[in-house]
Amino acid sequence: MGNYTDIIMEKKGQIGIIKFNRPKALNSFGGTLMQDIIGALREFNEDPDTVFTVITGEGRFFSAGADVKGANLDAAENYSNPAEKKLVFLARFVPALEMMRSMIDHKKVLVLALNGPGVGGGAAWFQGVCDIFLAAEGSWLQVPFSALGLVPENGSATSFAQHIGIHRANDFLMFGRKLTATELESWGLVNRVFPAANFQKSVEDFLNEQLSVNDGKSMMETKRLQNASRRDERIISVYNSVDALAERFVADAPAKRFAAKKAELDAKSKSKI
């Protein structure tokens, strides 16, 4: 297995585990986290033994989404024209685009194990493209897309509407409604909710139970047949959302909101010193 900085990659029998490992930053998408996820997905995709690929987090958060402190999205830059500016932002989104494609095209059964709260990208990128969604009691999802002048990212507008319906998806993605694991289970997005204590072990025990009863190849074929007709639609949805997000940045819509949020976080950090 590859040498990764911001994830813990483990293989336990027929279960591959990708664990976000930036707990001090609440597993926000900074450092090499996205690149590491892409690398691990690629490895498990070609692994001859694994059936399940689990995505989860280390610490109390699944992921806090964008690394606002390190995003540098409020920095003043000079562009010759709007097209040049858009290309600069599109280039920044390439890692997320490849990460989404890697999950959409993943051959193994992709399991999201929501160990704690998910915010922003941590609440929207993985939930709609995973095959099985397991959650810890007390975990929740919330997105600040509209509050930050953004759009639903990486195809989430389509994937959430497909899973929970348009009106519920709008309440979540447009208005930023906070959704608990219990609500998400009742709405059909979450398969099962396990106690927060020993959550990771409960996930492994559950998957091993499935492996003891069900044929691995049959489960993977079920996934392939179910997703084959959706693949192109998902990729197009991701592309459309990346394009719309870049246009928001061309219009400078998120700049002031990100700057205010960063100042708020910096003030909180200073108050703790």
Letter for the amino acid at 183?
Answer: E
CA nearest 106: which of 128, 129, 138?
Answer: 129
Query: In order of start, what are the domains of the chain with their CATH numbers?
Result: 7-200+213-271 (3.90.226.10)
State pTM to two decimals.
0.92
What pLDDT is recorded for position 70?
Answer: 58
pLDDT for res 180: 98
| DSSP letters for the chain | ----SSEEEEEETTEEEEEE--GGGTT-B-TTHHHHHHHHHHHHHH-SS-SEEEEEESSS-SB--B-GGG--TT-----SSHHHHHHHHHHHTHHHHHHHHHHHT--SEEEEEE-S-EETHHHHTTTTT-SEEEEETT-EEE--TTTTT----TTHHHHHHHHH-HHHHHHHHTT---EEHHHHHHTTS-SEEE-STTHHHHHHHHHHHHHHHS-HHHHHHHHHHHHGGGHHHHHHHHHHHHHHHHHHHHTTTTHHHHHHHHHHHHHHHHHT-
Look at residue 138 in the predicted model and tell me its pLDDT: 98
Output the pLDDT for position 68. 66
Token pair, residue 254, equals 């998120």
pLDDT of residue 211: 98
What is the C-alpha separation between 188 and 168, in angstroms, rounded? 12
Per-residue pLDDT reduced to its tens digit, 110-133: 999 999 999 999 999 999 999 999
In this prediction, the residues of the chain whose per-residue pLDDT falls under 70 are 68-76, 272-273
Q: What is the pLDDT of residue 270?
A: 75
